[in-house]
Every structure is written in C-alpha cells, then in structure tokens.
Amino acid sequence: MAAHILNGTEIGQQIRDELRQQIQELKQAGVTPGLAAVLVGDNPASQIYVRNKIRACEDLGLYSERLTPPATITTDDLLAVVGELNRRPQIDAILVQLPLPRQVDTRRVLLAVDPAKDVDGFHPMNVGALVANRPGLRPCTPAGVMELLARSGIEIKGRRAVVIGRSDIVGKPLALLLLHQHATVTICHSRTQDLPAVARTADLLLAAMGRAAFVTPDFVQPGATVIDVGINRINDPATAEQLFAGYPQRLEEFRRKGSALVGDVHPDVAEVAGALTPVPGGVGPLTIAMLMVNTVQATRQRRGQPAPAHPSKLAAVR
C-alpha cells in the first residue's frame, strides 16, 4: 500500500493565511513587523533562499530589507552590521544567511545577534531555552516539522522517534522538540552502527543528513511516518534513472531540466511507509512559513503586543 503523502505546500499556505490575519491586527495597532536579512557574498543557493524569504515578507505585508556585504568582509565589520540592526527599533527580526565566508567567525556573528531578534533560533540563549523547554525562538526547519506533524494529526506522545542527523540547525533541535512532545527519541549520525536496524525501530523516522536517497525501504518499519528534511540536487542521469525507475513523470522532468531535487529518502520508501513527506513540497515550504511565524512572535514580544485576537493552531507546538 502506498504511503499517505503529507502536503507541506498546503500546510505552509494555511500557516501563512493565519499569519496574514495576525499581521493585519498588528498593523491596525500601528506595528509593522520588520525583518533584515544579511546575505554575505554571492553564494547562489543563499541568494535564492534570501530572495524567497524576502518575497514571503512582501507577500504578507511585512517590512523587509536585504543587506549584501561583500564576500571579503571581516568578522569585525560584519559584527558592526549586526550591531546596527540590533539597535534599530523598526527591525524585529535579523537573519544572517549561512554559510559565511571562511575568514568570518560564524559563532561570534551568531552570538552578536540580539536574542530577541534571532528568528533563526541560533543564539545560545534561544538554544538554552529550547533545551530547557522554555519560551523562545525555535529554529525554523525543526519547528516546521513539528507543525507539519501536528496539523497532519500524527501522534508523537509515547512513540519511538529516530532522527538521522545531529546538526545544530536541524537534527539536534528537532530531537529536542520531539522529546518535549513526549516521544522516545534516538539520535543517529555518521558514526551510528547498523543504522538501518536502529531506523527500523522508529514509528517516526526523520531524515536530516544531506545524502540523496540514502534512506531505503529496509530502513523503514512498515506503516511508519517518514519525514524527509533533506534537500539534495542530483545532476547525474544514471542516478536519476535508478532513483526514478518507477516514476516516469519524475524521470521526464529530470530529462527536461537536467537536474532534480531529491530528499534523503529513496522514493521507493513510499511503498513501505504509512505517511511520507515529498521532496520538493514537504518540509521545505514549512521552513519559510515558520520564519514568518518567528518574525511575528519576535515583533509581538519586543513591542509588548498582546496575543492575537484570532489565535492560530500554532499555539499547539509553541
């Protein structure tokens, strides 16, 4: 039986529609949330990510600006850029797009962002709040996964969750969020032994490793929910033919474009899993939606605005 496909595009849209209403209420109170995105250098993927984030702001009627220091910037000069944004009252949200050039000390830069404006949730203050399960700004992709699970009616409490990947941005915070929702959580990584056997213990399997189609059907307990966080671009026709053997439409699309986006989960997992997020159209759209949620949350807290008159379902996972 084929897995139920969890539609992240639809859920992302629901969240944005709920936010639109909340932003309207804030604007009526004379408050326009403002986001500043710092894009250092000319990394093409980062340019696309930042463009999409700015577009999302514009679509929702938020104030946004993009700062584009050169790739040669020093740590001190970038700290000065962040310091200036910290001081500006109309900026509620600051994101520094990663990765930063080699000569820049990324940790110092992330530490310099005012925790109240840290909508990526990377500042140690917000990381500490997450660990202690206290209110704070949560990293967008893991928060998006939780939102997707909640809105898809997938039970977390008491279930066995296996997270593959332990990065500070995805794997680790995701594991903590699942733990706070009472899952029994295992974190796997590149040194885990017999990964397929550990993965097969999962009721909820979450892959965030950045390895195209690595999670094959033998990793999956029949009926498990599989969340694919990975985003990998493949360009090799032989790989595409192998991955998309049973998916003529995807193969056709690959041939037309010369590349395709695939997750960490092999398409054949759809034959074993109970529910599955697609790539694209799964977790991806949730990340930007949650950035917008965090921006509104940061605005409300910084400017002493009351809780929304029309609370969204988001409260369920905050």
Residues forming the active site: 53, 97, 120
Rounded (5°) CA angle 205-19-6: 25
Q: How many CB atoms lie within 10 A of CB 308?
A: 18
Contact track, ligand NAD, 281-300, x by CB under 6 A: --xx--x-------------
Site for ligand NAD in 84-143 (CB under 6 A): 141
- Which one among 130, 229, 240, 276 touches ligand NAD, defined by CB under 6 A? 229
Closest residue to ligand NAD in the complex (CB): 167
- Which one among 12, 173, 230, 308 touches ligand NAD, defined by CB under 6 A? 230
**Considering the rule CB under 6 A, would residue 23 count as an interface residue with ligand NAD?**
no
Q: Which is nearer to ligand NAD, 34 or 282 (CB)?
A: 282
Q: CB of 209: closest distance to ligand NAD in angstroms?
A: 3
CB 38 within 8 A of CB 67: yes
Q: How far apart are CA 299 and CA 305, in angstroms?
A: 8
Q: How far apart are CA 224 and CA 178, in angstroms?
A: 16
The window from 51-59, 86-94, 169-177, 303-311 that contacts ligand NAD (CB under 6 A) reads: 169-177
Q: Which is nearer to ligand NAD, 141 or 221 (CB)?
A: 141
User: Residue 89 is encoded by which pair of tokens?
Assistant: 């009252």
The window from 55-63, 85-93, 149-157, 226-234 that contacts ligand NAD (CB under 6 A) reads: 226-234
Q: How far apart are CA 296 and CA 60, in angstroms?
A: 11
Q: CB of 268: closest distance to ligand NAD in angstroms?
A: 18
Q: CB of 107: closest distance to ligand NAD in angstroms?
A: 15
Q: CB of 261: closest distance to ligand NAD in angstroms?
A: 10
**Considering the rule CB under 6 A, would residue 165 count as an interface residue with ligand NAD?**
yes
The window from 18-26, 57-65, 185-193, 240-248 that contacts ligand NAD (CB under 6 A) reads: 185-193
Using CB under 6 A as the binding criterion, the count of chain residues that bind ligand NAD stands at 24
- Nearest alpha carbon to residue 298 among 39, 125, 94, 140: 94
Give Cα 263 to chain centroid, integer Å. 14
CB 144 within 8 A of CB 290: yes
Q: Determine the angle formed by the axes of helices 140-151 and 284-302, rounding to 10 degrees.
A: 110
The window from 23-31, 59-67, 69-77, 186-194 that contacts ligand NAD (CB under 6 A) reads: 186-194
- Which one among 169, 198, 251, 261 touches ligand NAD, defined by CB under 6 A? 169
Under DSSP, is residue 102 helix (H, G, I), strand (E, B) or coil? coil
Instruction: Dump strand ranges (E) for 156-311.
Output: 160-164, 184-188, 204-207, 225-228, 232-234, 260-262, 275-276
Q: Which is nearer to ligand NAD, 278 or 308 (CB)?
A: 278
User: Which residues fall within 8 angstroms of residue 120, CB to CB, at 6 or more apart?
Assistant: 95, 96, 137, 139, 140, 291, 294
Binding site for ligand NAD (CB under 6 A): 141, 164-167, 169-171, 188-190, 192, 195, 208-211, 229-232, 283-284, 287
